[in-house]
Amino acid sequence: MSFVKISEAIEKKKGPVKVRGWVYRIRKLKDKIFIVLRDSSEVIQCVIKDEEMVKTADKLLTESSIEIEGEIYAEPRAPTKYEIDVKKLIVVHASEDFPINKDQSVEFLADNRHLWLRSRKMTSILKIRSTVLSAMREHWAKKGFYEYHSPIFMGMQCEGGSTLFKVDYYGKPVYLSQTWQLHAEPAIFALEKIFTIQPAFRAEKSKTSRHLSELWMAEMEVAWEGFDYLQDDAEEMIKHVVKKVLDNNKNDLEILERDIKKLEPIVKKSFPRITYDNALKILAEHRMKVEWGKDLRTNEEDKLSELYDTPIIVTKYPKIVKAFYMREDPKNPKVVLGFDVIAPEHYGEIVGASERETDINKLKENLKEQGEDAKKYEFYFDTRRYGSVPHGGYGAGVERIISWICGLDNIKDAIAFPRTMTRWTP
Ligand code: 4AD
């Protein structure tokens, strides 16, 4: 008999099965032992009654790795409603006393992250993460986008100097990439439609539940397209991701106690598209006054998110609060053809996007205003010198999206080993 996953054994419902995994829980009675066995797919209760086997199992601690052969049958009182009557038990490794048990502090779990990954909560999040990433790839691949990668070591900033990580590069200062963008735009002249999912680095100096220092960003860049296409694509991408998670990870969402009623509207409804000016009006109606020209802060984004049950697309922010590369609105040079997508339920900005400025002089002016040396960007200006075309793109925060879909309290749980201002180990 060959091994099957616990979920496959449960699907079989009855008869002989062979499974392997880790002791999730063990309850030792006088003449029998109950083990809840865990593998990547599920948990199942196993009962050991044979005298010799009871002696062997009696020595086992949680997280011991074992192989089991036995008969599976329905058992309504068991955690997953099935039980295996164990006929053969092989101990692969008798675990030492596992340091994690109930009610441990957040800090202790973070110090033992390498072990906490085995929890049902983290296992479910990591499965959803895998679905999210493959759904993103699927979305762009279906539309004829090529997967393309940019360098991580960078000679210049793209998203402002305050969040740059400086590293020693053969004795010279370089930065870790904040975004693929500066090296993505040159590639659209070869491939036209590209995307990536890769790490990005931001030296975030504040400790929030939404910021990581090392995050994964899903980014796309497209030639010949503009503002409306980008909004449509961001909306389609998010819808596809949520749909895939609802299709593939129902069980995981249940383990995370995520209310899926909150996710269902995302797939069905259109996302409201609101200009920054209108967002300010809406906020004023809710007694939140924002001075024109100021970026929306967390509490203002949160207020807006409370008013809708889908993500919202906020467009045309003031030029002064946005990145140097965003295209000026030809109808109003004070604002840019850029947008943010704000997630529901206080999960904040999940996408940052824009059509790109193609006027080299404007790009230079914008950089100068930020105190940047425009000379470093000559290679980038070349994209506007040789066959310039309208184009644009966006970046989606992978962990922000996962955090929202899973309903997490903190973005740190959306990635296996989070890196923040105060945490870089294990
Ligand atoms: O809005 P941002 O800064 O956009 C860019 O970097 C563009 N160059 C992307 C592009 O057009 N190709 O970042 C994109 C998204 C944000 O909307 C947010 O979801 C996420 O990345 N993000 C972070 N997520 C977690 N921790 C951080 N420190 C983040 N910074 C940005």
Q: Indicate whether residue 351 lines ligand 1 (CB < 6 A).
A: yes
pLDDT band at residue 103 using 50, 70 and 90 as cut-offs: confident
Q: How many CB atoms lie within 10 A of CB 6?
A: 25
**Has residue 223 got a pLDDT over 90?**
yes
pLDDT band at residue 421 using 50, 70 and 90 as cut-offs: very high
Q: Which atom of ligand 1 is nearest to the CA of 392?
A: 11
Tokens of 206: 């504040």
Contact 19, 42 (CB under 8 A): no
Contact 227, 375 (CB under 8 A): no
Q: Which atom of ligand 1 is nearest to the CA of 178?
A: 6
pLDDT band at residue 265 using 50, 70 and 90 as cut-offs: very high
Tokens of 251: 């069980």
**Has residue 289 got a pLDDT over 90?**
yes
- pTM surpassing 0.95? yes
Q: Indicate whether residue 215 lines ligand 1 (CB < 6 A).
A: yes
Ligand 1 probe mutation, 140, 204, 215, most atoms within 8 A of CB: 215
Ligand 1 geometric centre to CA of 352 (Å)? 6
Q: Which residue has the higher pLDDT, 30 or 63?
A: 63
Contact 173, 188 (CB under 8 A): no
Q: Indicate whether residue 399 lines ligand 1 (CB < 6 A).
A: yes
- Give per-residue pLDDT as tens, 110-125: 999 999 999 999 999 9
223-232 average pLDDT score: 98
Q: Which residue has the higher pLDDT, 206 or 178?
A: 178
Contact 306, 347 (CB under 8 A): no
Ligand 1 geometric centre to CA of 327 (Å)? 18
Protein residue with least CA distance to atom 6, ligand 1: 179
Q: Indicate whether residue 204 lines ligand 1 (CB < 6 A).
A: yes
Protein residue with least CA distance to atom 7, ligand 1: 395
- Give per-residue pLDDT as tens, 75-88: 999 999 999 999 99
Q: How many CB atoms lie within 10 A of CB 1?
A: 7
Domain architecture of the chain: domains with CATH: 6-93 (2.40.50.140), 111-414 (3.30.930.10)
